[in-house]
Structure 1
Amino acid sequence: MTELEAAMARPVNENELKVRFEFFCKSMINAARDPEVQADYQQWLKEKRQREQQEVL
């Protein structure tokens, strides 16, 4: 079990849940700002659009 899984398995009170959610949101925002993550997303989006176009044809 990873540290994250262990932390998520613990019972929490409402305040700690808010703190965890805020941390999760900040982590996602920071990841989205990462140039490598942005490049991966753009590549995924390009491939997704190509697949959708092929399905239409």
Structure 2
Amino acid sequence: MPPKKSFLLRIDPKLYEVLEKWSADEFRSVNAQIEYILRNAAGKAGRLPKKETAQILNEDKK
């Protein structure tokens, strides 16, 4: 797997609290939860390769 890109994200503290709770509920780190949400949105918007989009849509059905 290629190395991940790092960048600074400024986010509203209340939204971060929501993400913390959500990520804890799904046993992920906040970083992994944000990446999961963004990957799902990109897949559903047709912005990822078809193979990745199919994997995302199949995960949503589980």
Structure with greater proportional helix content: 1
**Which protein has greater RCO, CA pairs closer than 8 Å, 6+ apart?**
2
**Structure label with greater radius of gyration:** 1
Q: TM-score, normalised by structure 2?
A: 0.32
